[in-house]
């Protein structure tokens, strides 16, 4: 059921932030920087920007900007606020996330990812378009939030008329105040209810299975009117497994109990997944209110910890893990890892059960492991990921002396060094750590440095048309659709697109055929291709083309000759190269790590594997898999192995890159 405008206004007026509105606005008016603290659901994200707007903060022609660490949140919140203000999205209220801009000349309130604002600062270092910036969800300490905080430190001194509001859950708030010279804090008083926390007695062997059992127990043993269930999982895979197992088990139970009428009974639950790559309209369903006699079971990533408030939750089930990007500076690689959450995160998750009444949180880990294995606070992203992209942006902002940059928590110096080496190896930096001409061009693309390098090289190799397509296809969720029940059929369909020894060229081939079929949705469906992903790739391609034109890079097509494309890939994938080391096995050239070809690759199962490959992705599960792989000529790699030789030498001499 959609909420009516009147209902929405009534909800607004009931929010804790609304009740302190005038006091809060007075604080913001009286101070350049305010740290606003409030429980999740108190109305920080949806109300603050509206209050500022209604108080005339856009009367001078400037905008109110509100940053979010997550794409999904930026979109969802913008949609909610435009509904509350009764205006269509993309006009007065808009959002901007990478490759998707829903704003116009008349936009007054702009929600965006923190990455977008950082890019804007590269073009407009004083952020002249804004009268006020709300840095929302700052406690998440995303990489870009941390960098922006550092930038604001000098920016605010140069623009006395710019207001900064930093919003945070209770954790970390003091840190933000201190960072900005004891900036005042404003607490939004809020009511929360007690939540009983129940640990398992023994470690659980399989948290998906345990979560399913717990959810079924609750559902079958408590009245539906008690409230809904929120399950925290790590990502798309275990979320989908949890959802489908719950439905399977319930079908079994209800069939036994009610025979042929089981379907009517099944209508008393709605199982809803939520993760970032889920289409927006599906995500929106978690906010819709259910009939009285239907129970919602929401299965979410840590996005539901603080970013999105789901109302009506009485029970929380917490698997105790989340997926984190972790950088290993020794091998110089980022990977997604399932990692135990921190205690602060566990408490945020539990808190979701106490919003509308007393609740219960089931933790699928033992009390001992919580006390012994969990950090009190999560490690900020800046201390655990590759910084090449960030450093390229800082250098583009002419911030060269990184040791002087006011990081709220500085990254480990080894991370800084390896990330600088990565940029140097891509020839974005010279021997003194200064941005090269190439590096400046690379910074103009909203892409990882190795991908922007490949795109720029393409103009030398005469294959810009093709590389634009490949890079766009690499920037969207997989275009190949592989439903569980029809794996074999879909694998066959995929293999019809294979180009020998190259997944990159296979992606190019898929796109070219789709184009030849006039970008048809129907054509995709019958070939197990995700129309949505392809459409997005097309859209991204246009945006990247726009950047290429703006930079005056020559456009060319290599036609039916694929060699230039493979060669060109080598210029960017210099760290992602592997050499055949035995039957079906590769070793990572830089580190000697063993790698296997992923089963979805065009190279998987080839009797005669190419001796050298570059790869796009490294998946760390129980084994290390490489995915999106292309065979290359060892001669082309000569140049880059020369580079590695120098890197080694430089390391030995502990060359400092101006650090
Ligand atoms: P905070 O940022 O303080 O955590 P929010 O401003 O996000 O709080 O949320 C305030 C209230 O608005 C919550 O009760 C939440 O349920 C409601 N709300 C937010 N987004 C939506 C939405 N898309 N649909 C319905 N209700 C929403
Ligand atoms: Mg919020």
Beta bridge pairs of residue 168: 37
Mean pLDDT of 519-543: 95
**pLDDT computed for residue 484 by the predictor:** 79
What pLDDT score was predicted for residue 121? 93
Q: Say yes or no to pLDDT of 627 above 80.
A: yes
DSSP line for 339-407? EEPPHHHHHHHHHGGGSSS-EEEEESS-HHHHHHHS-SSPPPGGGTS--HHHHHHHHHTT---GGGS--
198 pLDDT above the threshold of 60: yes
Ligand nearest to the CA of 137: 2
425 band by pLDDT with thresholds 50, 70 and 90? confident
Asked if 17 contacts 48 with a C-beta cutoff of 8 angstroms, the reply is yes
The residue nearest atom 23 of ligand 1, judged by CA position, is 80
pLDDT at res. 642: 52
530 lines ligand 1 (CB under 6 A): no
Higher pLDDT, 325 or 301: 301
Residue 222, SS3 per DSSP: coil
In a mutational test of the pocket of ligand 1, which residue from 44, 45, 46, 83 has the highest number of ligand atoms less than 8 Å from its CB?
Answer: 46
Q: Is 309 in the pocket of ligand 1 (CB under 6 A)?
A: yes
What atom of ligand 1 comes closest to residue 46's alpha carbon?
6
pLDDT at 653 over 50: no
pLDDT tens string 467-497: 999 999 999 988 999 887 898 999 999 999 9
Q: At 643, is the pLDDT very low, low, confident or very high (cuts 50, 70, 90)? A: low
Mean pLDDT on 632-659: 59
Q: What is the pTM of this model?
A: 0.90
Question: Is there an atom of ligand 1 within 6 Å of 42 CB?
Answer: yes
For residues 316 and 203, is the Cβ–Cβ distance under 8 A? no
What pLDDT is attached to residue 640? 58
Average pLDDT over residues 525-537: 94
Q: What is the distance between the alpha carbons of residues 633 and 504, in angstroms, rounded to a whole number?
A: 15
How deeply is 128 buried, as exposed, middle or buried, from its count of CB atoms within 10 A (0-12, 13-18, 19+)?
exposed
Is residue 43 lining ligand 1, measured as CB closer than 6 Å?
yes
Select from 80, 169, 187 the residue to mutate for testing ligand 1; criterion: most ligand atoms less than 8 Å from CB: 80
pLDDT for residue 652: 44
- Over pLDDT 90: what percentage of the chain? 71
Q: How does strand 63-68 pair with strand 195-199?
A: unpaired
pLDDT at residue 84, rounded to an integer: 96
Among candidate residues 471, 458, 475, 469, the one with its CA nearest the CA of residue 551: 458
On average, the pLDDT of the chain sits at 91
Residue 504 has pLDDT above 50, yes or no: yes
Predicted ipTM of the assembly:
0.98
List, for residues 575-596, the tens digit of each pLDDT value. Answer: 889 999 988 799 988 888 899 9
Nearest CA to ligand 1 atom 15: 309
What pLDDT does residue 328 have? 66
Q: Is the CB of 12 under 6 A from ligand 1?
A: no
Q: Which atom of ligand 1 is nearest to the CA of 136?
A: 2
Whether the pLDDT of residue 115 is over 80: the answer is: yes
Ligand nearest to the CA of 284: 1
Q: By alpha-carbon position, which residue is closest to atom 25 of ligand 1?
A: 287
Tokens read off for 456: 């720029």
Average pLDDT score over residue span 389-407: 90
285 CB less than 6 Å from ligand 1? no
Q: Is the CB–ligand 1 distance for residue 50 below 6 Å?
A: no
Across 328-337, 394-403, 498-507, least confident range: 328-337
Q: Which atom of ligand 1 is nearest to the CA of 137?
A: 2
Q: Which of 9, 43, 73 to mutate to test the pocket of ligand 1 (most atoms within 8 A of CB)?
A: 43
What is the number of the ligand 1 atom nearest to the C-alpha of 79? 23
Q: Is 80 in the pocket of ligand 1 (CB under 6 A)?
A: yes
Is the model's pLDDT at 530 over the cut of 60? yes
pLDDT digits (tens, 9 = 90+) for 173-196: 899 999 999 999 999 998 889 999
């Amino acid at each position: 059921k959609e909420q009516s405008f009147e209902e929405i206004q009534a909800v607004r007026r009931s929010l804790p932030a609304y009740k302190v509105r005038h006091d809060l606005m007075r604080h913001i008016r009286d101070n350049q920087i305010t740290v606003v603290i409030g429980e999740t659901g108190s109305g920080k994200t949806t109300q603050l920007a509206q209050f500022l707007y209604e108080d005339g903060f856009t009367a001078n022609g400037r905008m109110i900007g509100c940053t979010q660490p997550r794409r999904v949140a930026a979109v969802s919140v913008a949609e909610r606020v435009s509904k509350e203000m009764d205006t269509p999205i993309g006009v007065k209220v808009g959002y901007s996330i990478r490759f998707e801009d829903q704003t116009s000349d008349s936009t007054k309130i702009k929600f965006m990812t923190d990455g977008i604002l950082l890019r804007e600062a590269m073009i407009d270092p004083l952020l002249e378009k804004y009268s006020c910036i709300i840095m929302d969800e700052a406690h998440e300490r995303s990489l870009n939030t941390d960098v922006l905080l550092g930038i604001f430190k000098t920016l605010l001194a140069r623009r006395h008329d710019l207001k900064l509001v930093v919003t945070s859950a209770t954790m970390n708030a003091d840190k933000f105040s201190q960072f900005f010279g004891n900036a005042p804090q404003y607490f939004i008083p809020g009511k929360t209810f007690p939540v009983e926390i129940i640990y398992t007695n023994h470690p659980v062997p399989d948290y998906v299975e345990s979560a399913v059992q717990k959810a079924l127990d609750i559902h079958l043993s408590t009245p539906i009117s008690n409230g809904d269930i929120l399950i925290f999982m790590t990502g798309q895979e275990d979320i989908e497994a949890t959802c489908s197992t719950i439905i399977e088990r319930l079908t079994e139970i209800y069939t036994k109990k009610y025979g042929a009428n089981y379907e009517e009974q099944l209508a008393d639950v709605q199982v809803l997944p939520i993760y970032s790559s889920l289409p927006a309209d599906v995500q929106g369903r978690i906010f819709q209110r259910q009939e009285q006699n239907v129970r919602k079971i929401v299965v979410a990533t840590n996005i539901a910890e603080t970013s999105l408030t789901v109302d009506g939750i009485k029970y929380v089930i917490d698997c105790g893990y989340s997926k984190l990007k972790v950088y290993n500076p020794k091998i110089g690689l980022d990977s997604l890892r399932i990692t135990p959450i921190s205690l602060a995160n566990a408490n945020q998750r539990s808190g979701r059960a106490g919003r509308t009444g007393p609740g219960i949180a089931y933790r699928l880990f033992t009390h001992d492991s919580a006390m012994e294995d969990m950090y009190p606070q999560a490690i900020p992203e800046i201390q655990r990921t590759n910084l090449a992209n960030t450093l390229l942006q800082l250098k583009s902002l002419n911030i060269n002396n990184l040791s002087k940059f006011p990081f709220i928590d500085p990254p480990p110096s080894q991370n800084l060094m390896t990330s600088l080496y990565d940029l140097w190896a891509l020839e974005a930096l010279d021997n003194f750590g200064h941005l090269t001409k190439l590096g400046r061009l690379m910074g103009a693309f909203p892409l990882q440095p190795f991908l922007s390098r490949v795109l720029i090289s393409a103009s030398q190799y005469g294959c810009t048309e093709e590389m634009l397509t490949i890079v766009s296809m690499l920037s969207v969720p997989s275009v190949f659709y592989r439903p569980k029940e029809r794996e074999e059929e879909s694998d066959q369909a995929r293999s019809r697109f294979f180009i020998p020894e190259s997944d990159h060229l296979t992606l190019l081939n898929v796109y070219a055929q789709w184009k030849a079929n006039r970008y048809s949705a129907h054509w995709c469906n019958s070939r197990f291709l995700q129309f949505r992903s392809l459409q997005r790739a097309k859209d991204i391609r246009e945006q990247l083309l726009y950047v290429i034109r703006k930079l005056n890079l020559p456009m060319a097509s290599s036609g039916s000759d694929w060699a230039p494309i493979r060669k060109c890939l080598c210029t960017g994938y210099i760290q992602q190269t592997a050499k055949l080391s035995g039957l079906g096995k590769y070793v990572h050239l830089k580190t000697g790590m063993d790698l296997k070809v992923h089963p979805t690759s065009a190279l998987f199962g080839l009797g005669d594997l190419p001796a050298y490959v570059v790869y796009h992705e490294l998946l760390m599960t129980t084994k290390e898999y490489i995915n999106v792989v292309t065979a290359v000529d060892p001669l082309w790699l000569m140049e880059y192995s020369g580079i590695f030789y120098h890197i080694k030498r430089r390391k030995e001499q502990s060359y400092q890159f101006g650090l």
